């Protein structure tokens, strides 16, 4: 079996593709996997480090405003199409898979012309423009959220699969997570994930929450600020005369490599509403307070958050309304009403799709045989 995967620009497009690649290799260790991406995207760095073959094609994001750059984008798209066409003719894949990003457009288009079976995976409740345009051409559309169905072409064959989540996220145990993070297993654990992009508002609100939490015996806070916000937040704590080393129930860190253990330890998660984060939260059955990134393309994070809120699994705070008191009031009310929290956790778990990867891999195998 030969499979071509394409997806890039952000980790949200790249990591699902890598998960699919690993899933295929587990089923068929002899499978040949080739990634196609751009030289400028994160995929050019991440994919080779993960041990997969990678080739570069030309592609640029679609321009939403009329300008001379539209012509540059058009010529890049044409060149990217012929780049992809030549590679696909040479590699002769059984299936071509796109996981989002503008690089998918020339790759999937070339595969359609060559009559190669195709699958695109859409991570968000509101699909990106590339996947919306491609949905009428591909063999299968694999969707994370059922809410995204209405945005695709009426001709699309849509399967709601969920988003592939790393196995370690699913199997991590609370006791191991508590121990790994040096936490107290008897305390209620609030995990706040800022992230490296657009997290300043969350970090600032989390600072006020931390002040409320300090010294409490029944609650502990883990704040992951992101690399870009870490020094600023430490400075803010110092300005308020707070000694984090001596407080005992507030942990601040720029990044967590063992996010699986952090999620296992958490009783409540506060974070952005990216598709990968939501997939991990729901597969763990965690209640959440979601703060959509306001500058996400097509405002897709708000659509993602609304999907959980509508089903009773989360509370949403628009970034424009976020403040320390607002966030703390929500956290305090949820902790005070454990039955509400338990119901949110139940609803969250009902939305999780731990079998997403297996489902997608099986679809790929099925369409490869047609």
Mean pLDDT per block of 10 residues along the chain (370 residues) reads 91 88 95 94 90 91 61 80 97 96 92 98 91 93 95 92 91 96 96 76 94 92 90 92 86 90 98 94 97 90 96 97 96 95 97 96 93
* ∠ Cα 168 173 176 (to 5°): 105
- Which domains does the chain possess? 2-165+354-368 (3.40.50.2000), 168-351 (3.40.50.2000)
DSSP3 helix / strand / coil % (the chain, rounded to 5)? 50, 15, 35
pLDDT at 32: 97
pLDDT at 68: 60
* ∠ Cα 85 91 95 (to 5°): 85
Within 13 A of 47's CA, how many CA atoms are on the CB side? 31
- Whose CA is closest to 209, among 251, 253, 254, 179? 251
Dmax (CA) for the chain in angstroms is: 67
pLDDT at 67: 57
């Amino acid at each position: 079996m030969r499979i071509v995967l394409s997806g890039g620009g952000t980790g949200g497009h790249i990591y699902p593709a890598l998960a699919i690649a690993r899933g295929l290799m587990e089923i068929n260790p002899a499978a040949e996997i080739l990634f196609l991406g751009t030289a400028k995207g994160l995929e050019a760095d991440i994919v080779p480090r993960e041990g997969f073959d990678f080739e570069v094609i030309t592609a640029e994001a679609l321009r939403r405003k009329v300008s001379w750059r539209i012509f540059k984008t058009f010529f890049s798209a044409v060149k990217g199409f012929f780049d992809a066409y030549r590679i696909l003719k040479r590699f002769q894949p059984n299936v071509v898979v796109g996981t989002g990003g503008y690089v998918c457009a020339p790759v999937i288009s070339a595969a359609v012309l060559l009559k190669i079976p195709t699958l695109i995976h859409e991570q968000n409740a509101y699909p990106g423009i590339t996947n919306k345009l491609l949905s009428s051409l591909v063999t299968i559309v694999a969707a994370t959220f059922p809410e995204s169905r209405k945005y695709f072409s009426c001709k699309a064959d849509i399967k709601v699969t969920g988003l592939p989540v790393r196995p370690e996220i699913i199997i991590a145990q609370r006791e191991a997570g508590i121990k790994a993070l040096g936490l107290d297993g008897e305390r209620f654990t609030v995990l706040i994930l800022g992230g490296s992009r657009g997290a300043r508002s969350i970090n600032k609100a989390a600072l006020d929450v931390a002040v409320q939490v300090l010294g409490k015996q029944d609650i502990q806070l883990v704040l992951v600020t992101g690399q870009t916000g870490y020094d600023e937040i430490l400075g803010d704590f110092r300005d308020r005369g707070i000694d984090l080393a001596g407080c005992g129930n507030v942990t601040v860190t720029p990044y967590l490599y063992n996010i699986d253990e952090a999620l296992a330890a958490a009783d409540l998660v506060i974070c952005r509403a990216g598709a990968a984060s939501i997939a991990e939260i729901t597969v763990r059955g965690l209640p959440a307070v979601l703060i959509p990134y306001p500058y996400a393309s097509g405002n897709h994070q708000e659509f993602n958050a609304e999907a959980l809120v509508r089903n009773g699994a989360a509370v949403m705070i628009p970034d424009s309304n976020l403040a320390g008191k607002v966030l703390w009031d929500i956290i305090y009310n949820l902790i005070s009403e454990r039955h509400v929290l338990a119901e949110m956790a139940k609803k969250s778990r009902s939305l999780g799709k731990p079998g997403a990867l297996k489902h997608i891999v099986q679809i790929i195998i099925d369409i490869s045989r047609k």
